[in-house]
Structure 1
Amino acid sequence: MNAPTLSPGRLAALGRSELTLLVRNRATLSVAVLMPASMVFVLRTIVGGDGAADAARATLTGGIGMVLLLVVYMNLVSAYVARREELVLKRLRTGEAGDLEILAGTALPAAVIALVQIAALAVAGAAVLGAPMPRNPALVLAGVLAALPLLAGMAALTSAFTRSVETAGLTTLPLFLVSALGSGLFADPDALPATVASVCELLPLSGVMALVRAGWSGGTGAYELLGAAITTLAWITVTVFAVQRWFRWEPRR
């Protein structure tokens, strides 16, 4: 990769171009905008709790995880693969934009859409589901912001093993299922057997979801929060290294 630089002007231009392509692709736009909302309704029927407030809180934290996975991760895998196969990435790389700017610019619209949807979820949760507002909003925001580079990197890495946009649904399925079942989106990790829970704590999205849950409900000790932060940072570091090593800028042959 080229030297990692970030020019706000070039980043904004790349982001606008990607947003234009996203708006033109109605199927992808529908998945990015409508699918998370529908999944929250599904979560509402699945998630249980000791009371209405607990169930509403679990629904919203699970909904945040679904937005991150669907809008950032799965949508970006398709975007990176499409731009690669259309030689867009190769052409961009011959210009002034650096590798990091190209990848970040492609991810920018998805990140903004995810942040807007998460904010809307918090407001709608309080208004419709009767969920309490986060006890520590800064901790929720920290978890969400940490998830953006993590999942964007995961998307770039997954795209290296994805031959076409049509197969993106298959290559993204493993991380989606593992995160949904093991990182606490659908079920409380504390309800799992101790050995299984210990393994699930090390999954890519587990640290992020631990921060989000702690920010929403409170009651989490500093040791657990530190562990969640270290896990997330470790995964970001590993992902960045893997993207530098294996990301493909030219079409697969």
Structure 2
Amino acid sequence: MSGPGNRVEVAAGPAVPGGGARRALARSWPRLRALAGAELTLFGRNRSAVLTALLVPLALPVTVRPAIDQADLKGVGIGTLMLTAAIGFSFLFAVYSSLVGAFVSRREELVLKRLRTGELDDIEILTGTALPAVCLGLAQALVLAVGCATLLHAGTPKAPYLTLLGLLLGLLLSAALAALTSAFTRTTESAQITALPLVFVSMLGSGIALPPDVLPHRAAAVCALLPLSPAVRLVRAGWTGELSAHEALGTVLTALAWTVVAVFAVRRWFRWEPRR
């Protein structure tokens, strides 16, 4: 992985035949589990981060209910739109915003630099740091799905594989975008400020706070290309079955393209030492 403060040289491991990935995972898992456990402990001590990650995704969908009520739903149930909004807010707050602060804090406290002197490689460090937030976002999404299906009569998903795929892509991309945003964030205090542009743009344009049906056609076409728009669209389409196979494939490819771009950018610009 390149970028300021990175290792000058990384030794390449020996080629492993079939089953090597399984053995590599078996070796990495104890280290990932230990790092994720430590990160979870630190996260639990930060009350403001806990409240933001836990309560905001649950409370914000209620605040956007008036906009949803006034929208032309075109046959989409209120429960489905509220579910989509809630999961979108989980992407933005439980994962993205909280991880921006976590990455910056660990960098400024030299935790990331010290971790790189041990057995952990770069991918393990980033994955272990992100795991608690990603698992929290996943747990929230599952609880919200059950709640909306039960209380708001969202029903059962017509294409559950699309919802699951959108959820996984959204969580992965949110974590990658958080790592990228941290590279341009100088201090822990400014982390919430640097995260705001993506939060606001995604809320308004990715079908989270406002259903895409209320936007003008040209604006909706542009907003469909925003980073989190494909994931949110897949979550909603899994419930409604509104996407054809061709449309679903295009949406998945757009989400994967954003994920590849974000991962490449993290490898290029992520910072391991404090900004000077």
TM-score by length of 2: 0.87
- CA separation of 1:52 and 1:31: change in aligned 2, threshold 3 A: farther
Q: Note the residue ranges of structure 2 that are not aligned, 5 or more in a row.
A: 2-9, 14-23
1:113 to 136, 139, 144: 136
Deviations 1:17-75 (A, max 9, x none): 10010111111111111111111221333312559971121011111000111011000
1:31 to 17, 29, 52: 52
2:215 to 176, 192, 196: 192
- Asked if the contact 2:64/2:210 (under 8 Å) is kept, the reply is no
Deviations 1:179-233 (A, max 9, x none): 1111111222233222212211111011101111110111211121111111111
Look up the match of 1:13: 34
1:171 to 174, 190, 194: 194
Task: Give SS of 2:77's match.
Answer: helix
RMSD over aligned Cα, in angstroms?
A: 1.8
Q: What pairs with 1:131-170 in structure 2 (closer than 5 Å)?
A: 131-170=154-193
Question: Size of the alignment, in residue pairs?
Answer: 253
- Is 1:126 aligned to residue 182 of structure 2? no
Look up the match of 2:272: 249
Deviating 4+ runs (over 3 angstroms): 2-6, 49-53
TM-score by length of 1: 0.94
Look up the match of 2:21: none
Task: Give SS of 1:172's match.
Answer: helix
Task: Give SS of 2:272's match.
Answer: coil
Look up the match of 1:99: 122
Deviations 1:63-108 (A, max 9, x none): 1000111011000000000000010000001111010110010000
Look up the match of 1:79: 102
Q: Note the residue ranges of structure 1 that are not aligned, 5 or more in a row.
A: none
- CA separation of 1:211 and 1:50: change in aligned 2, threshold 3 A: closer
Percent identical among aligned pairs is 53
- Select between 138-147 and 122-131 the one with higher mean Cα deviation: 122-131
Per residue, is there more helix in 1 or in 2? 1
- Asked if the contact 2:80/2:154 (under 8 Å) is kept, the reply is yes
AA matched with 1:63? A
1:45 to 59, 63, 66: 66
- Asked if the contact 2:44/2:50 (under 8 Å) is kept, the reply is yes
- Asked if the contact 2:35/2:129 (under 8 Å) is kept, the reply is yes
